[in-house]
Structure 1
Amino acid sequence: MVQPLFYLKESASQTAGPYVHIGCTPNFVGIHGVFERDLGAGKLYGEAARGQRITIRGAVIDGGGNPLKDALVEIWQADADGLYNSPSETRGSADPHFAGWGRSPGDMDTGEFLFETIKPGRVPFKDGRMMAPHITFWIVARGINIGLHTRMYFPEEAQANAGDPVLARIEHKPRVATLIARQDGEASYRFDIRLQGEDETVFFDI
C-alpha cells in the first residue's frame, strides 16, 4: 500500500559534529581496518595523468580568524582537458588516470587541508561561454548545518577570470578576490576559506 506523501516528513538537519571524520576518514582518526585507505585521500592523479601537477593548501577560518581544526573539505574538478570524470560528461572521455574528486580533513593541530591534483582546463557554462579554470570546494564542519560550496580560481588566469560568467554574477566586485587563490610557489597555491568577517569567502547556493 502506498503511503500518502504527507507521512514523509523532512528530517531535521544538524551539524557535522565530531563524528564526520569517523565516518568519512576513519584512518585519519586512527581507526584502521575499516578501509585500506580513506576515500578521496592522497593524490588525485596517477603517474600517466595528463596536465600540470599542482598542490593546494589552505584552512577553513572562522569569524574570529581562527582555523577550524575539525573541518572536512572536498574538491571536484575537470581534468587538464576540461572534461569531468562523470557519467554525465558527454563532450568526450575524461583522463582515466585522474580521479577529479578528493577529500581532505583539516590537520588537527593547524587546521590545514592539502590536495595534490592537476590544474583543470576550461569548461563551458550552461550557455556555452567558457568558464575560467576553477576547482569546486565543499566544506563541512562543526557549526555548519548545510555543506558550503565555493570555488577556487587561479591568479595567473586573469584574462579568463575577467570573462568568467560565474564571477561576472557577483555584484560586489571586491569580493571576487575571495575566490582567487594565492600563488605559493611554482606549482603551489594557498586558498583559505573564510566563513565570516570582512573577507568572507563567496559561497554558492547549489
Structure 2
Amino acid sequence: MSEQLPLTPSQTVGPYLRLGLDWPKGADVVPPGTPGEIVISGILYDGAGIPVTDGLIETWQADPDGRFAHPDDPRGAVEPSVPGFLGFGRSCTDETGRWSIRTVLPGALPALDGDAEEAPHLDVSVFARGLLDRVVTRIYFADQPGNDRDPLLAAVPAERRATLVAEKVGEAEYRFDIHLQGERETVFLQV
C-alpha cells in the first residue's frame, strides 16, 4: 500500500508575476497621438493602503462605437472605427504602485437582457501578489451619460458606486485608484 503524501499548499500570484505576462503593445490600446485618446491612470493599493509595486492591470473594451473586433461579439465582429485600436492593454505597476493605460473612450453597449444599455466602461482584471486568482472590476467615467441607467451600476449599493467611476482630472486624463481590500475597497465582480 502506498503512503499518502500531504496536499501541496496553494500559492498566491507572484513574486514573479510579470514573467510571461508582458504584452508587446503594453499599456497602449491605441497608438500615441490617436485623435480622441485619453489616459487612465491610478495606484493599486493593498488592504493596508500600501501601493502594490508588482501588480498588473489588464483592460478590455469596446471601440467608440460600442463594437468589438472579436468573433464572440453576438452582433458580429467588426473592424474598429479607430485605426490601430486593440481593445486590450496591460500595464504593470511601477515602484510607486502607479499604472496607466492609453486608450479612447468606449461606446455604450447593449445590455445582455436587450432592454437596457450599458454605459461606456472598461473591463479590468487585476493581478497582484497575495491573490490566488485575478480580481475583476469595471471602470466607468464620471462625465459620461448613461451611468444612471447602467444595469451593473444600478445593482451596486449607492455608497459603493464611486469605487467603479474614474474621476476626470485633465482634458484627456482620468484617475482610477484600485483598492484590493479595506475601507475604500473597489467593487469586484464575480465572473
Distance 1:190 1:88 in 2: 30
Q: Does structure 1 residue 155 correspond to structure 2 residue 142?
A: yes
Match of 1:201 in 2: 186
Which amino acid in structure 2 is aligned with residue 117 of structure 1? T
The verdict on how the C-alpha distance between 1:78 and 1:112 changes in structure 2, with shifts beyond 3 A counting, is same
Which amino acid in structure 2 is aligned with residue 177 of structure 1? A
Distance 1:47 1:152 in 2: 21
TM-score of the superposed pair, with normalisation by structure 2: 0.87
**5+ long unaligned stretches in structure 1:** 1-10, 26-37
Distance 1:77 1:57 in 2: 16
Distance 2:33 2:96 in 1: 33
Q: Residue by residue, what CA displacement relative to the aligned partner does 1:149-178 show, whole Å, maximum 9, x if unpaired? A: 000100002x411100111111x2110011
1:116, distance to aligned residue in structure 2 (A)? 0.4
1:111 to 90, 94, 97: 97
Moved over 3 A (4+): 46-49
2:171 to 171, 182, 186: 186
Which structure is higher in RCO with an 8 Å CA cutoff and minimum separation 6?
2
1:110, distance to aligned residue in structure 2 (A)? 0.8
Match of 1:5 in 2: none
Q: Does structure 1 residue 84 correspond to structure 2 residue 68?
A: yes
1:142, distance to aligned residue in structure 2 (A)? 0.6
1:1-16, aligned counterparts within 5 Å?
A: 13-16=10-13
2:44 to 60, 65, 88: 60
Q: Does structure 1 residue 126 correspond to structure 2 residue 123?
A: no
Match of 1:3 in 2: none
Percent identical residues? 43
Distance 2:174 2:52 in 1: 19
1:23 to 8, 20, 27: 20
Size of the alignment, in residue pairs? 180
Which amino acid in structure 2 is aligned with residue 68 of structure 1? V
1:44 to 29, 40, 57: 29
1:46, distance to aligned residue in structure 2 (A)? 4.0
Match of 1:33 in 2: none
TM-score of the superposed pair, with normalisation by structure 1: 0.81
Distance 2:153 2:124 in 1: 15
Partner SS, residue 82 of structure 1: coil
**5+ long unaligned stretches in structure 2:** 1-7
Distance 1:60 1:135 in 2: 16
1:48, distance to aligned residue in structure 2 (A)? 9.6
Which amino acid in structure 2 is aligned with residue 81 of structure 1? D
2:158 to 173, 177, 182: 173
Partner SS, residue 112 of structure 2: coil
CA contact (8 A) 1:153 1:161 kept: yes
